Amino acid sequence: MKILIDTYGADAGAQPIIDGTVKALEKRDFTPVFIGNDREIKLLIHDRIKNYEIIPTNEFVSNDEDPVRAIRKKKDASIVLAYEKSKEEGYDGVISAGSTGALLAGGLFLAGRIPGIKRACLAASIPSVNDEITLLMDTGANMDCKAEFLYEFALMGKVYLENVMNITNPKIGLLNVGVEEHKGNTLTKETYNLLKESNMNFTGNIEARDLLTGKVNVIVADGFDGNIAIKTTEGVLKTFASELKNIIYSSAKNKIAGAILKNDIKSLANKFSPDEVGGAPLLGVKSYVYKAHGNTNELAFSNAILGLINYIEMNVIEKIEGELNGN
Amino acid sequence: MKILIDTYGADAGAQPIIDGTVKALEKRDFTPVFIGNDREIKLLIHDRIKNYEIIPTNEFVSNDEDPVRAIRKKKDASIVLAYEKSKEEGYDGVISAGSTGALLAGGLFLAGRIPGIKRACLAASIPSVNDEITLLMDTGANMDCKAEFLYEFALMGKVYLENVMNITNPKIGLLNVGVEEHKGNTLTKETYNLLKESNMNFTGNIEARDLLTGKVNVIVADGFDGNIAIKTTEGVLKTFASELKNIIYSSAKNKIAGAILKNDIKSLANKFSPDEVGGAPLLGVKSYVYKAHGNTNELAFSNAILGLINYIEMNVIEKIEGELNGN
């Protein structure tokens, strides 16, 4: 299996990308195809990988650029080269920690949408107290959505979970301001009706306070709201963890207590760490594409690659096509 | 000062409403005017309040009803009687833990909007690590918003903070998926332009991960997104606190550590507890109205009453009118 790896776009540069790839190779066999600066990549690999390819380029799409325009103009940008290569036989998937907008634009204009799907979306795994698997989708690819887009997100989430995560008949919830059917804005009310009429296991609205309680397996939201929910979660966890740290370091007595609790608090932090998942599949496009976090590190990028491999092996794209054709 | 107090609508019934009022009377002098079941109110007061009035009724608007319809049909519902009375001389403000929809509908149809204001909104105080005061508005009154509504929210938030909280030239941020100007959906892009052109201290977009970091004093959002943000915060804090509790009770060793940290963790929890504020003003209507949390308790309801009194004393409604007229 060959995985196309964009070495541009991570906050910390190419280092965590290469290190994460090395780490992933300890668990699974695949051929990394790095796209980026030839010399830097070789220096960073430093004999740690036997079989790999490089597609050399020094161009990339930054977060500040208009993604659609950049994808069209910058023919040698790393993400553009990744998408072009992904269409060739023998290249199985694309992973990038770079601009979400560029990844999405590339997905739509270079890879193309799965026939019948109107919008691609990012399906982020979020942690839950009861270890139930929950996907929040979309978490940032689509800003202004229609109800039919959200319906598609639910459908793709269902197929993904059934195949990649082995969940039978996953529970679908709609992110909303109240659990009652009449609650919400125009978008959620229309989406509620579509989901209610579907054959999916739709359990109704879910409030944002239940994001981490594992009540459902798919939380459907438009990309704006999903992004607000996931970044609020991230921010609150970070704030609470740092306040707790301040408490523990505030006195000699507290430091002793902190030392006792250290390991347990660490596993709690790990349970809710975004690094455990490391990324999210871009569902709805004809290539297997994974978005790694911009602030990725070795562990997170390694986990993202492993997630991508799983996604590829389960033939999810073919299965979404099958679901759309009623197979 | 006479405060109209809706005794219906709290999850725990009239008890926390009456207890909270008793507690508030320990700090400030005012005459409570209770609206609800005459006998129950008298029983719950049980000689603890000297001067009070009762407007007796057994009717109320529940969370399950269509609020506009209910406000129009149920002439004796507690919230309807509260609004009607608030127009009479000598009655200064309204507080309710009941249906937000009914409170809003009553505000619009019974009290009326401040001339020049198109939408009323709930301005919730949210905690911050650096003890900066932050209002998130709207947090649930308006589901489908236009940019001009969000502009009004910012303006009302500014006047409220300048007068009630003594903050000079409060910093205004727009809740968005990225800090860059071009980020967001149609609504936030249009709102960005309006705020940029205004005389307010607009500092740009703010991401949801900065909700609790005290970077700005007003976070502007539509009621749907504000509600997602505040309920996500609530849910994550609750989840994290309960997981921490599990850790502490998991072993004898951990219990000792927990006992050492107990007081510090408790003050941290209090700092981020919604009970510290207890409610939110409904800005934009011609009466002084405060929404208490549905799951209110004695402390929260007491704090909400004290917030309402402060809001009334600072003549915020007149000052919003002044700001709209360019005074």
**B135 within 8 A of B218, measured Cβ to Cβ:** yes
Other Cβ atoms closer than 10 A to B324: 16
How confident is the model over B185-196, as pLDDT tens digits?
A: 999 999 999 999
For residue range B53-105, list pLDDT tens digits in order. 999 999 999 988 899 999 999 999 999 999 999 999 999 999 999 999 999 99
Tell me which H or E stretch contains B299.
helix B298-313
Average pLDDT over every residue of B230-249: 91
Start-to-end CA span in chain B (Å): 27
- Give the pLDDT confidence of A135-186 residue by residue, as tens digits: 999 998 899 999 999 999 999 999 999 998 999 999 999 999 999 898 999 9
pLDDT band at B327, cuts 50/70/90? low
CB–CB contact A228 B212 (8 Å):
no
Give the residue from A255, A49, A247, A117 showing the smallest Cα distance to B270.
A247
**Rounded Cα distance, A272 and A61, in Å:** 30
Beta carbons within 10 angstroms of residue A145's beta carbon: 25
CB nearest A232 (choices: B229, B242, B254): B229
In A, which residues are within 8 Å of B249 by CB distance? none
Query: In Å, how far is A211's CA from the nearest CA of chain B?
Result: 7
| Mean of the per-residue pLDDT values of chain B | 94
Nearest-Cα distance to chain B for A249, in Å, is 11
| Selected residues 180-239 of chain A with any CB under 8 Å from a CB in chain B | 180, 182, 184-186, 188, 207-213, 223-225, 227-239
Does B227 sit within 8 Å of A232, measured CB to CB?
A: no
What would the pLDDT profile of A39-94 be if each residue is shown by its tens digit?
A: 999 999 999 999 999 999 999 999 888 999 999 999 999 999 999 999 999 999 99
Question: Is B129 an interface residue toward A (CB < 8 Å)?
Answer: yes
- In order, the DSSP letters of A194-230 are HHHHSSSEEEEEEEGGGTTTT--SEEE--HHHHHHHH
Q: Which two tokens stand for residue B207?
A: 């991401």
pLDDT bracket for residue B245 (50, 70, 90): very high
Chain A interface, mutation test: which of B66, B187, B250, B264, most A Cβ atoms within 10 Å?
B264
Whole-prediction pTM value? Answer: 0.92
Give the DSSP letter string of A143-204. Answer: SS--HHHHHHHHHHHHHHHHHHS--SS-EEEEEES-SSTT-S-HHHHHHHHHHHHSSSEEEE
Residue among A140, A212, A253 minimizing CB distance to B236: A212
The verdict on a CB contact (< 8 Å) between A236 and B237 is yes
